[in-house]
Amino acid sequence: MKHIARIALVLFAISAVCTALCAVVNEVTAPAIAQNTEKTRLEALEAVAAGYTIGKEQEGNGGDIAYVIPLADESGKTAGCILQLSSSGYGGEMTIVASYSLDGTLLGAKLMADSETPGLGKKAEEDWYMAMFQGKGGTEPIPTAKSMLPADLNAQVSGATITFTGVSSALAAGSEYVKGLGGSI
Partner 1 sequence: MSQMKELTKGIFRENPVFIIMLGMCPTLGVSTQVSNALGMGASVIFVLTCSNIFISLCRKIIPDAVRIPCYIVIIASFVTIVEMVLHAFVPAVYDALGVYLPLIVVNCIILGRAEAFAGKNGVVASALDGIGMGIGFTLSLTLIALIREVIGAGTITLFPMGSFSGTITLPGISESPVRVMTLAAGALLLMGYLKAFFAWKGERKA
Please give the residue ranges that form the binding site for partner 1 (CB under 8 A).
Answer: 6-7, 10-11, 14-15, 18-19, 21-22, 25-26, 28-30, 32-33, 36, 40, 115, 118, 122
In this structure, are residues 143 and 132 in contact, taking their beta carbons and an 8 Å threshold?
A: yes
Q: How far is the CB of 62 from partner 1 (least distance, A)?
A: 29
Q: How far is the CB of 57 from partner 1 (least distance, A)?
A: 23
Q: How far is the CB of 92 from partner 1 (least distance, A)?
A: 12
Phi, psi of 176 (to 5 degrees): -65, -40
Closer to partner 1 at the Cβ: 10 or 131?
Answer: 10
Choose among 69, 72, 101, 102: nearest CA to 84. Answer: 69
Closer to partner 1 at the Cβ: 122 or 136?
Answer: 122
Choose among 88, 87, 105: nearest CA to 178. Answer: 105
Q: How far is the CB of 119 from partner 1 (least distance, A)?
A: 8
In this structure, are residues 142 and 96 in contact, taking their beta carbons and an 8 Å threshold?
A: no
Closer to partner 1 at the Cβ: 33 or 131?
Answer: 33
Closer to partner 1 at the Cβ: 22 or 155?
Answer: 22
Q: How far is the CB of 5 from partner 1 (least distance, A)?
A: 11
Closer to partner 1 at the Cβ: 31 or 182?
Answer: 31
Closer to partner 1 at the Cβ: 36 or 53?
Answer: 36
In this structure, are residues 164 and 172 in contact, taking their beta carbons and an 8 Å threshold?
A: no
Q: What is the dihedral of CA 113, 31, 58, 174, to 10 degrees?
A: 0
Cα 128 to Cα 104, 133, 157: the distances in Å are: 20, 9, 11
Q: How far is the CB of 34 from partner 1 (least distance, A)?
A: 9
With vertex at residue 179, the alpha carbon angle to CA 165 and CA 116, rounded to the nearest 5 degrees, is 20
